[in-house]
Chain A
Amino acid sequence: MTTWVFCEEQNGAPSASSLELLTKARSWGDVAVFYVGAGSDEAFAALGEYGATTIHQLDAGDALPAAVAAAAMSDLVAADDIALFGMGYTARDVAGRLSARLGCTVLSNATDIDLGGDQVRVSNEILGGTTRVITAATEGPVVVVVRPKVFAAEAGEGAIPPVTTVAVPDVGHAGAGTVLERHVEESEGPDLEAAAIVVGGGRGMGGADDKWEPVAKLAGLLGAAVGATRAVVDAGWVPYSLQIGQTGKTVKPDVYIACGISGAMQHLVGMKDSGLIVAINKDAEAPIFSIADLGVVGDVHKVVPALIEALEAR
């Protein structure tokens, strides 16, 4: 059995999720990485350090990579293999296409993986994180899509593994997508996914600019990253890259401060494993209070400015 870990290059480095998956998989034995991107010695060295024993690299250039990556991967994955993917956009595209090519099921939203016995068993949390389900695949190969941050990435001592370049296969019309432009939406402050403190803002902030300012200012004072609900990114108050939740980022900071966030299930799955959760909401019935260690029922435009003033005075 070989474990495959899918890795999409991000800003020249391996994706954070691939290092988490490698950390988990290296205890099972050989781990082959399927790498999509231009690659570099540093990137490959990092993968080796986290446990990759071989790397297969495919550079799709400006093509939308999912169709060619899935086709190339399907030639490499054997019947008793397991293929792990993160929840990244390209990772999910490849996981879906690969499973259709191989005719095998996808175990999605995994929060743990158990290879004991002769089956691959995956835990996941359903119904808004209230219920844990263990699902087993009845046939191989098995494609597993793992939620971010369920395994902590820890560097090991592996050397740079051998790297094989994979030719871009011809998949006809399926491969016809082309990336014309790439835009990075700059955000200030620490990286949302790695920050020790996150200040999350919801629709209750009431708008962008001046209305949003208390969130940004509080984050600045605490050295925190700013996050947001989907309602807020949809409204265009802040970039999509700040969205926390099911379709956005998953955060696990020491402290999460929710300002004007109702606490919809799709938001909670992205932050419920935070250390200390503080929520400010004017509605005493808001679901966010059911998971908050401290809930303040009040107006964000009173409580947050008062908090900012007190912090500034220290």
Chain B
Amino acid sequence: MKIAVCVKQIPDPAAPYDLDPDSHFVVRPNDQVLDDTDRYGVEVGLQLVEQVGEEATLTLVSMSPAGSLQGIRQALAMGADRAIVIDDETLRGADALTTAKVLAAALQEDGFDLVIAGTESTDGYAGVMPQQLAELLGVPSMSFARKVDRDGDTLRIERQTEDGYAVVEAPFPAVLTVTSGVVEPRYPNFKGIMQAKKKPIETRSCADLGVVPEVQQVIQSVEPIPARQAGEVVEDEGEGYLKIIEKLEEAKVI
């Protein structure tokens, strides 16, 4: 069984983001990190590989500048076997559909039984890329999974719904998207980190994959939103609740 996990490298969310003043794109620093969301996808993939045994493999697929591979190494250190990175100057400012086309081409070339992605990335959070990918690959989108089971050739998930969850089943091949609750991602150990340095990372260009990027959206303006003013902050010395009562009275809800 061939499992692929889509992983996105993003600027460190704890550091401030910069926007390029001309293109308005997020400036991607040289050291990008693995999107935290994707650690869950990698963990789900690793657990499935462990269940299936010897003949299962885990490949990472990422569209990102190959100059920065720190995030990919993080995922390899968790236990993935190899990575395919699509890097091409023409992909700067790609929209989600362009990303999906590029990843679909790489996945079709490499082969897959299951593709795992996060429900939305931390930086772009369009939240539709995996579904676009599923459509391009012609497979079911088993989305918003909070529990994942495999039974032979069938994938069964608990899919989050507005008022609870549904149990949904589909045969492989499929695209699966996972929310964070699904598993507890492992931390890479020393052995994993050392092995990751030797694991193969293959790169592809758009020409290799036969994809011509064509982005149908342009950013027209970027402006700061006036921050909501922080109000009064009081230290609780046993009377803090009285302040709250006061505010609730002012708001006429009590």
Contact = CB atoms under 8 A, between A and B. Distances in A.
Interface centre among B122, B163, B242 (most CB of A within 10 A): B163
A296 interface: yes
B62 interface: no
Contact of A294 (B122, B134, B247): B247
B232 A303 contact: no
A62 to B, nearest CB: 10
Interface stretch (B43-51, B124-132, B203-211): B124-132
A302 to B, nearest CB: 7
A227 to B, nearest CB: 14
A314 B254 contact: yes
Given A276-B247, A294-B243, A182 B166 contact: yes
B127 A145 contact: yes
A293 B231 contact: yes
Interface in B201-243: 215-225, 227-228, 230-236, 238, 240-243
A109 B170 CA distance: 29
Given A109-B125, A240-B181, A294-B244, A176 B171 contact: yes
Given A131-B19, A138-B218, A108 B253 contact: no
A76 interface: no
A278 interface: yes
B170 A108 contact: no
B140 interface: yes
Interface stretch (B53-61, B74-82, B105-113, B142-150): B142-150
A132 B224 CA distance: 6
A100 interface: yes
Contacts of A239: 164
Contacts of B134: 67, 96-97, 174
Contacts of A257: 244
B170 A176 contact: yes
B104 to A, nearest CB: 9
A94 B146 CA distance: 20
A298 B131 contact: no
A178 interface: yes
B164 A105 contact: no
A133 B221 contact: yes
Interface string A224-246: 00000010011000011100001
A241 B253 contact: no
Interface in B157-199: 159-171, 173-174, 179-181
Interface in A86-120: 87-89, 92-97, 99-101, 103-109
Interface string A147-177: 0000000000000000000000000111111
Contact of A295 (B19, B162, B164, B234): B234
Given A130-B227, A310-B245, A293 B222 contact: no
Contacts of A104: 97, 216
A181 B168 CA distance: 7
A213 interface: no
Contact of A127 (B17, B133, B169): B17
B248 A255 contact: yes
Given A130-B227, A272-B228, A174 B135 contact: yes
B63 to A, nearest CB: 16
B96 interface: yes
Interface residues of B, number: 82
Contact of B138 (A88, A172, A182): A172
A66 interface: yes
Contacts of B133: 100
A289 B216 contact: no
A239 B163 CA distance: 9
A299 B162 CA distance: 32
A108 B125 CA distance: 8
A240 B146 contact: yes
Interface centre among B139, B141, B143 (most CB of A within 10 A): B141
A297 to B, nearest CB: 5
Given A185-B164, A302-B236, A133 B24 contact: yes
A114 to B, nearest CB: 10
B160 A299 contact: no
A172 B170 CA distance: 12
A129 B225 CA distance: 7
A42 interface: no
Contacts of B251: 254-255, 275-276
B135 A101 contact: yes
B88 interface: no
14 contacts: A92-B143, A96-B96, A103-B97, A105-B97, A106-B128, A107-B217, A131-B224, A137-B217, A173-B140, A174-B138, A179-B167, A185-B164, A240-B164, A277-B231
Closest 3 CB pairs of A and B: A298-B236, A96-B131, A96-B128
Given A99-B128, A108-B127, A177-B174, 8 more contacts: A64-B141, A89-B159, A106-B126, A134-B222, A136-B218, A173-B171, A266-B122, A280-B236
